[in-house]
Amino acid sequence: MSRGTLYDKVWDRHTVTRLPTGQDQLFVGLHLVHEVTSPQAFGMLRERDMEVAYPERTHATVDHIVPTGDRSRPFEGAAEEMMSHLEENVREAGIDFSHPDTGDQGIVHVIGPEQGLTQPGMTIVCGDSHTSTHGAFGALAFGIGTSQIRDVLATGTIAMEKQKVRRIRVTGELGEAVEAKDVILEIIRRLGTDGGVGYVYEYAGEAIESLDMEGRMSICNMSIEGGARAGYINPDETTYEWLEDTDAFADDPERFAELKSYWESITSDDDAEYDDEVVIDGSELEPVVTWGTTPGQGIGISEEIPHPEDLPEDKQDTARHAQEHMRVEPGDTMKGYPIDVAFLGSCTNARMPDLRNAARVVAGREVHDDVRAMVVPGSQRVKAAAEAEGLDEIFREAGFDWRDAGCSMCLGMNEDQLEGDEASASSSNRNFVGRQGSKEGRTVLMNPKMVAAAAIEGEVTDVRDLPETEVSAQ
Amino acid sequence: MSDDNGVETVERASGTGVPVRGNDIDTDQIIPARFLKVVTFDGIGQFAFHDVRFDDDDNPKDHPFNEDRFRDASILVVNANFGCGSSREHAPQALKRWGIDAVVGESFAEIFAGNCLALGVPTVTASAEEIEALQDFVDENPDAEIDVDVADETVTYGDTKIDANVDDAQRKALVEGVWDTTALMKSNAEAVAETAASLPYIESEGDA
Ligand code: SF4
């Protein structure tokens, strides 16, 4: 059993009691709600005549199905139904809502940190598996299902079993064009998509500590792709600097100072005990791309696609199917793999540094004739900040579609979808068959710069082969 | 702990089986994202495995869920890492409303197993070989009864009894009828308020 880790400390502080199920009842510090997984839970609450127990610890947004093009009301089809359900539910319960009209709307895992709702030493839940993102701040953040959403709404708590803690230390300095995304794709590739089952991941080491908050979020975001329900990074000065400027503390330095001592108290002790430890040399990595249909099927951009028979036996069939679906040949590299769509967006990679990095690659170039390319900023605030820096111009001039904030083609629930067997270069987190809206669609996951390079070249490209242009505001 | 919400105990599930083979079957396959556009779960059962069951023109493809002989099945038999990917509870909801009362497999994604538990659907594990043997048996004997005993952690079919595994917390919750956590946790409201008040980041009443 782990001891003295952030996970242990935050868990203990939030434990209400041990339930007869053997699970712990944990108080939930922040419950984030979005339009797709919440209506059923509010419905169940109503069926039982219960009220929202802690509306002030709850915050709502719309992201999954909200249109990212034309936003005039009523929205088309199911989006309107879900939107109006949410509007009604939050009004009735008195829950804060980052409504599109406020300019604060965005992907739930972008707006929480952005507004300072996400803080170290909190327990955070949301009906979305990428809630692990918030672990970047040293919070314990878990994705939950609809019945658990009902639990949290009704009681302000959740029933959970404690997990083991694996520390993943990424040492060294990351090389050129190697980003947080590449680190996490590499971790998942090495440990497997189910390697984290039963574990929470603590990410540590120089390569992690030197990341900005956005990079840390990209890493924690994909913990779930590695099978870990949560992932976190101990808060440090980088974390505190971010928090200081958020809505939560900008006008309240006293409160900030007060909470900072709490945050410092919950970091993992130097002599903390872990259930497992993995070390990865970050300086060896190169940009990673996926060749298959699970996020664990990744390779370095100059590496060869594996022969299924060289893989562990339980991975061979999945690899064969994936290669058939993706139409790739073992022994080839992914370089030169033709793409039809470039998607720069999602809660993994649609924050300011992601857009800046991609803009540097795009500036002065044009999107390939055969590619439709889009940028979907993670939130309305990210969008506004990018426009203030002129990034939208750079993307537009190059031929990118500059869209409104939302999940968009990450999961293909709104109008942004792959068609037929289109192949996409995507900065999102899942390449499952059908994920981006078309059953025959093909998704290649990569970092935002690599997406930009693929958009320009019309094929998967090593971005290190494209010289960068300075972006003015940088 | 059964209260007026009428929480049932789930000590066993029995019925005929349906095998769905393959590792890493994710929740996008169990219920494709476009069927998430529903605000209630009613009627979602017919969309279980939709995209692997039907082609673009909605013609049925080869899939056990399309086969008449498995139509009344209630025990789903799967392989490894079933239910990985998105946390959507629509996945177990779709399976349950299709008619599944228990899932037996080599391993399950955690969130999926948790979502199943919240519906009172056990997720029971056994070794790869035992699962394959069970799948073969179900294939050859679609009318044979399979008995999943959650309390005893066994799966019985034909002359065979498998020593299966049920996660301890899950077993307790099902067998003692405490899987309806909402009712259970609501009864601790006072202790919850105390825990909340002890957290530095929760502003005490009055200064919010
Ligand atoms: S961007 Fe994608 S992964 Fe993130 S919350 Fe939206 S759908 Fe989920």
pLDDT digits (tens, 9 = 90+) for A180-194: 999 999 999 999 999
In chain A, residues with a C-beta closer than 8 Å to the C-beta of B123 are none
Does A312 sit behind a cis peptide bond, omega within 30 degrees of 0 on the bond before it?
A: no
Asked if residue A456 is part of any domain, the answer here is: yes
Q: Is A68 in the same domain as A216?
A: yes
DSSP code, position A101: G
The verdict on the CB of residue A340 being under 6 Å from ligand 1 is: no
Residues 6+ apart with CB under 8 A from B174: B9, B10, B11, B117, B120, B122, B150, B166
Residues 6+ apart with CB under 8 A from A201: A165, A166, A167, A168, A223, A226, A228, A230, A231, A232
The verdict on the CB of residue A347 being under 6 Å from ligand 1 is: yes
d(CA B122, CA B171): 8
Residues 6+ apart with CB under 8 A from A33: A58, A59, A60, A61, A86, A90, A95, A108, A126, A127, A149
Residue boundaries of the structural domains of chain B: 12-177
pLDDT of residue B200: 97
pLDDT of residue B38: 75
CA–centroid distance, B44 to ligand 1, in Å, is: 22
Locate all alpha helices (DSSP H) within A1-76, ordered by sequence: 6-14, 39-47
Q: For position A363, which CATH number holds?
A: 3.30.499.10
Centre a 10 Å sphere on the Cβ of residue A96 and count the other Cβ atoms it contains.
17
Pocket test for ligand 1, best of A34, A35, A37, A64 (most atoms within 8 A of CB): A64
B76 membership: H or E segment, kind and range: strand B75-77
Contact B99, B17 (CB under 8 A): no
10-residue mean pLDDT profile of chain A (474 residues): values are: 97 95 93 93 88 98 96 92 95 98 98 98 96 98 90 96 97 97 98 95 98 98 96 98 97 97 98 98 98 97 98 94 98 98 98 97 97 98 98 98 97 94 98 94 98 98 84 48
d(CA A473, CA A360): 11
pLDDT of residue B36: 76
Closest-approach residue (CA) in chain B for A52: B186
Q: Is A352 in the same domain as A236?
A: no
- Say if the Cβ atoms of B111 and A48 lie within 8 Å: no
A111 membership: H or E segment, kind and range: helix A108-114
pLDDT above 50: residue B206: no
pLDDT of residue A474: 42
Asked if residue A230 is part of any domain, the answer here is: yes
Centre a 10 Å sphere on the Cβ of residue A117 and count the other Cβ atoms it contains.
21
ipTM surpassing 0.90: yes
Residues 6+ apart with CB under 8 A from A85: A35, A39, A42, B39
Q: Is A299 in the same domain as A250?
A: no
Residues 6+ apart with CB under 8 A from B152: none
Across B74-88, average pLDDT: 93
Residue nearest to ligand 1 atom 6, measured at CA:
A407
Give helix A213-221 / helix A180-191 axis angle, nearest 10°.
20
- Say if the Cβ atoms of B110 and A193 lie within 8 Å: no
- Say if the Cβ atoms of A53 and B189 lie within 8 Å: yes
User: Which residue's structure tokens are 């009209």?
Assistant: A101
Q: Is A72 in the same domain as A24?
A: yes
Centre a 10 Å sphere on the Cβ of residue B130 and count the other Cβ atoms it contains.
17
The verdict on the CB of residue A107 being under 6 Å from ligand 1 is: yes
Domain boundary among A215, A250, A265: A265
Q: Is A450 in the same domain as A331?
A: yes
Q: Angle CA(B124)–CA(B125)–CA(B128) in degrees, nearest 5?
A: 145
pLDDT of residue A44: 82
d(CA A118, CA A132): 11
Q: Is A63 in the same domain as A103?
A: yes
Q: How many domains does chain A have?
A: 2
* Burial annotation A353-381 (CB, 10 A radius, 16+ → b, else e): bbbbbbbbbbbebebbeebbbbbbbbbbb
What is the second-level CATH architecture of the domain B12-177? Alpha-Beta Barrel (3.20)
Q: Is A152 in the same domain as A22?
A: yes
Contact A283, A174 (CB under 8 A): yes
The verdict on the CB of residue A128 being under 6 Å from ligand 1 is: yes
List C-alpha distances in Å: A364 to A374, A385, A395, A398. 17, 21, 10, 7
**What is the span of the domain harbouring residue A427?**
291-465
Q: Is A299 in the same domain as A234?
A: no
Give helix A237-244 / helix A213-221 axis angle, nearest 10°.
110
d(CA A460, CA A450): 8
Q: Is A26 in the same domain as A85?
A: yes
Q: What are phi and psi of B157, to 5 degrees?
A: -150, 145
pLDDT tens string B121-176: 999 999 999 999 999 999 999 999 999 999 999 999 999 999 999 999 899 989 98
Asked if residue A332 is part of any domain, the answer here is: yes
Q: Which of A17, A29, A193 sits opposite B188 (nearest CB)?
A: A17
List C-alpha distances in Å: B61 to A326, B53, B56, B142. 21, 5, 10, 19
CA–centroid distance, B120 to ligand 1, in Å, is: 28
Q: Which pair of structure tokens corresponds to residue A438?
A: 């078309």
